Structure 1
Amino acid sequence: MVMIFTLVSAVQEKLNEIVDQIISRREEEKKQKEKEAEEAEKQLFHGTPVTIENFLSWKAKFDAELLEMKKKRMKEEEQAGKNKLSGKQLFETDHNLDTSDIQFLEDAGNNVEVDESLFQDMDDLELEDDEDDPDSPPADAESDSTD
């Protein structure tokens, strides 16, 4: 019984040592990965140093791309402009447009209906639009005209 207890205790201690080693190795690997990730992030932010030669080559590429984009935009605008006709050109090509407004007015005719009941209570309203109306003359001009 004493022998079995001694053996089990020794095995248990050895297993605890192995588990502790595994845990410490995992922690070290985790720390190493975090450190590598930080270094990689620092490299991303570090970039390449700017020198006169680097800048001039980048500037030349950038200007070329910008010029190419402007040329594309100009071509697109030209193509869009070719398809659109001016108002004068529309009237010259489509003679139905000459009479379309007249036809519309004839169709509408004098069939405009006004509901007069909407305007019956207008006397009860207090309208003070002289001050608010930008088209009305100033108060000084009104007093001069009444003199």
Structure 2
Amino acid sequence: MGREEQVEEREVLDSIFPDEITDNIKDISETEYRISIKLDLPDDDSDEASEPPTLILHVRYPDAYPDEAPILDLSPPQNAPAHPHFAVASDKAQLLKGLEDTIQENLGMAMVFTLVTTLKEEAEQLILDRRAAAARVHEEAILAAEREENKKFHGTPVTPETFMKWREGFLKEMEEKQRREEEERLAEIKKGKVKEPVRLTGRQLWERGLAGKGDEGEDDEGIPTEQVEKIKIEA
């Protein structure tokens, strides 16, 4: 009975497989053949216009088929172009394992058409899942680059700690600036380029009626002569 069902199934496979599912079925022996299955995928720019992959399902009937599971194997076509999200060599074990439930559900019945349909759907979904994952990774990379770029336009948040650190640095910078300016002024005085202001004595201030009129915090012993000359001119 098993052999009769095997012959009958093989005879009808050519007519029941739609053209878009299989390229061809090639017999190897009376109980063995291989089916070329071309996957159908929506267009996607990330695949760089790569052709949908094709995989070859090898089917061999054991004597008790269909009461016993067929012996299956997968291989790529010769010289098949590489696909960015699929490779028969690395995906074969996963795809064949995905057929185990279908085989158990169909024991006792001709099942090759069902197995091919299931295999095609599983392989297509595998590629679509990987395509979506790659798209998410690409999108996340773009967002990460944008976040890094946006950091250039945001200042450091002001906190008590950051303000005290800035204040300390600012005061040191001002002290250093005053020190440099004083050193430059003294150097110019030594070179004779700038005369040091002459300061009046207390007696001179008193005689000129300027005693006690110096700037607040200035020593009463004298004030710069340029201020005295300014006062005389205004008088």
* TM score, norm. by length of structure 1: 0.36
Relative to its length, the structure with more helix (as a share) is 1
TM-score where L is the length of structure 2: 0.25
Query: Which structure: larger Rg?
Result: 2
Relative to its length, the structure with more strand (as a share) is: 2
